[in-house]
Amino acid sequence: MEIVFLQPSAVSLVAIAIMIGTLLVAYFKKIMMTYGLIVANFFVFLVTLFSEAQILKELGFQPVFLTVELSPNLYTLFTSMFVHSDFLHILGNMFVFFFMGVAFEQRVGRKKFLAIYLISGVCGALTHTVLHLEDTIVLVGASGAIFGILGAFAYAYPRDEVVMPVPLGIMVIMRIKVIYATILFAILETVIVIFSGQDNVAHFAHLGGLASGVIIAALLLRNTVRTTRHPNVARAPDYMRIGDSDQLNFSHLRQLVRTPELDTIFQRIEHENVRQVRDMWLDHFLEKITCPVCNKPLHHLNRKIWCEAQHFSTDY
């Protein structure tokens, strides 16, 4: 079968530049990759609105591309993750991704998070392709990558709770343990695949992304859960490490302890062995700290603490 190379138009090149540029800015500026990916998806969608379906055709992935040796269109395995067909498509994907992505990225760190996201997205598309070889229907959307994050999250932190829309007859926004959400969505996708006809949704890409997320997390995070014992402490805390994001710089936080109340909260943070409880105390601590110079409340975001008047800044 002869496949014509779909030469990217100028508008598609702009979209690709947005994808790559946004991720590079997020990486080098140390912005959460979840935010970078969401911004990239929405900007690409805005460009898509004015492209008269050019971007959908040129940057979406077609399974038939894999039937051609050295197909020049294989880059669409990457670009298709940033392209969405309509407003409801991107809104649904990004809504779920925001709540789940932020929580998981804080756990594993930006690099591993991005690796899991991109690899899962590609694996999801390949799973769909294996079952639909020579199909020319265009595959677009971040769903496979998002299902990959869900699978990896469930593998690494099954008891964590996240806010997401859950299909219980109707869509209900609720807090749910990641493992329960994963099982529910896996069952739903499987039932649809078995009993439903064609609905223009790549359900196998979802299932492939989910499974690959679990596998990637098992490989990438297998040596990151450690327990550290402190022999000089009567009740030694157990620190769970999954990526650098779970490490706190206690020396930087300690310099902000200026009242007995903050000292008590800091001790709770330092010796708490349950991650979720420790994070609650940390949030309480960050709400109460003030600038050592001007005594005004400090701002904090992405593991950074700073004074609005630029008197003080540190990370933790």
Q: Select from 148, 150, 141 the least CA-distant residue to 201.
A: 141
Q: What is the pLDDT of residue 274?
A: 67
pLDDT tens digits for range 275-315: 767 887 888 888 889 998 898 888 887 788 988 888 888 88
Q: What is the pLDDT of residue 141?
A: 94
| Residue entry with tokens 């769970």 | 240
Q: Are residues 144 and 281 in the same domain?
A: no
Q: Are residues 208 and 266 in the same domain?
A: no
Distance (Å, whole) CA 7 – CA 193: 34
Q: What is the mean pLDDT of each run of 10 residues along the chain (316 residues)?
A: 67 95 93 95 94 88 81 90 93 91 88 96 93 83 95 91 78 86 89 71 89 94 48 34 56 89 88 75 88 88 84 87
Q: What is the pLDDT of residue 240?
A: 35
In a domain, 295, yes or no: yes
Q: Are residues 163 and 24 in the same domain?
A: yes
Q: Are residues 59 and 140 in the same domain?
A: yes
Its domain, for residue 152, covers: 10-220
Q: Are residues 173 and 292 in the same domain?
A: no
In a domain, 229, yes or no: no
Q: Are residues 207 and 279 in the same domain?
A: no
Q: Are residues 203 and 257 in the same domain?
A: no
Cβ(269)–Cβ(287) under 8 Å? no
316 exposure class (CB count in 10 Å sphere: 0-12, 13-18, 19+): middle
Cβ(116)–Cβ(148) under 8 Å? yes
Q: What is the pLDDT of residue 116?
A: 97
In a domain, 163, yes or no: yes
Q: Are residues 125 and 252 in the same domain?
A: no
In a domain, 46, yes or no: yes
Q: What is the pLDDT of residue 287?
A: 85
Q: Are residues 95 and 208 in the same domain?
A: yes
Q: Are residues 16 and 86 in the same domain?
A: yes
User: What total of structural domains would you count in the chain?
Assistant: 2
The CATH number covering residue 124 comes to: 1.20.1540.10
| Residue entry with tokens 């269109």 | 73
Q: What is the pLDDT of residue 211?
A: 95
In a domain, 238, yes or no: no
Q: Are residues 295 and 164 in the same domain?
A: no
In a domain, 236, yes or no: no
In a domain, 2, yes or no: no
In a domain, 225, yes or no: no
Q: Are residues 16 and 129 in the same domain?
A: yes
Phi, psi of 112 (to 5 degrees): -65, -35
